[in-house]
A = this chain, B = another copy of it.
Amino acid sequence: MRVLGVDPGLTRCGLGVVEGGIGQPLRMIAVGVIRTPVDDEPALRLLSLQTEIDEWMQQYTPDAVAVERVFAKANIKGIMGTAQASAVPMLAAARRGLPLALHTPSEVKAAVTGNGRADKAQVTAMVTRILRLQVAPRPADAADALALAICHVWRGGAQNRIQEAIARQQRVAR
């Protein structure tokens, strides 16, 4: 099973592709960050993001997509851009009929470190260890994207198969 994890954002969007299964060692296939210029129109930033994510989908052909669930925080202006950015990988998955899951930050932290309140350094350290990387992934958005993909593989299995069945049924019903 190959999963694309996406930590959505307009200024920095983390992407990570992980391959493996429950009880199998996980392998990092790719990691990166998409940046779009703050001075660009929001619509152009979304389009840049879409172009890049489409290229990742084509190049790495994931079986599933895991996106961080966006919550409202203090920075309302930023959160709207993040919510809009999160629509891009969701659409990319839906267009290809791939199962998509939204995981909360605390679900991801708990899956990777055992602690739902782990800090960024702990998440990065565990991602580096789990994927047996020589160098810790930077910036934090890239590590978060890999953590999302790891979380998805580990939480996967039965839950994914149910979601796939639902998605299939919905496609047939359309």
Interfacial residues, chain A to chain B (CB-CB below 8 A):
40-44, 46-47, 50, 70-72, 76, 79-80, 83-88, 90-91, 93-95, 100, 102, 163, 166-167, 170
Contact = CB atoms under 8 A, between A and B. Distances in A.
A93 B170 contact: no
Contact of A46 (B79, B85, B87): B87
A167 B163 CA distance: 40
17 contacts: A41-B94, A41-B100, A41-B163, A41-B167, A41-B170, A42-B90, A43-B91, A44-B170, A46-B90, A50-B95, A70-B80, A71-B76, A83-B83, A83-B84, A84-B87, A84-B90, A87-B87
> How many of these chains are in the complex?
2
Interface of A is mostly: helix
A79 B82 CA distance: 12
- Among A84, A86, A170, the most chain B Cβ lie within 10 Å of the Cβ of A84
B44 A94 contact: yes
Contacts of A47: 91, 94-95
A11 to B, nearest CB: 15
Contacts of A83: 79-80, 83-84, 87
Nearest to A91: B46
Contacts of A88: 87, 91
Nearest to A81: B83
Top 6 closest pairs, chain A to chain B, by CB: A83-B83, A47-B94, A87-B87, A84-B87, A43-B90, A43-B94
Given A46-B87, A50-B91, A88-B87, A41 B80 contact: no
